[in-house]
Amino acid sequence: MGVEKLQELESLLNRLIDDYVKTKEENEKLWARMNEALSKIEKLDKEKRELESLVEMYRSSLNSLVEKLQNMLGAVDYAVEADRQDKT
């Protein structure tokens, strides 16, 4: 093998090593970004569950209030009707 061929081989090997190092660094950065994204997803999922729980609690409270209002209106209607019958 000639000196030129050895230099070409060495140059190729150096480029391969450089490419490997760059690819490894990029891979590590991508993994870090992916882990960060997964953490954000987990945080958002937790917040979503908390919000869903709040919505359900508010829905239950509103349903209870509506039911109480309906009962009160029914009692008022009953009292008004009874008052009308007393006047007649």
Q: What is the structure's pLDDT at 86? A: 76
- Rounded to two decimals, the pTM is 0.61
Q: Distance (Å, rounded) from C-alpha 68 to C-alpha 57?
A: 17
DSSP symbol at 22: H
Q: Distance (Å, rounded) from C-alpha 9 to C-alpha 22?
A: 20
Q: How many other CB atoms are found less than 10 A from the CB of residue 82?
A: 10
pLDDT in tens, 29-87: 999 999 999 999 999 999 999 999 999 999 999 999 999 999 999 988 888 888 788 77
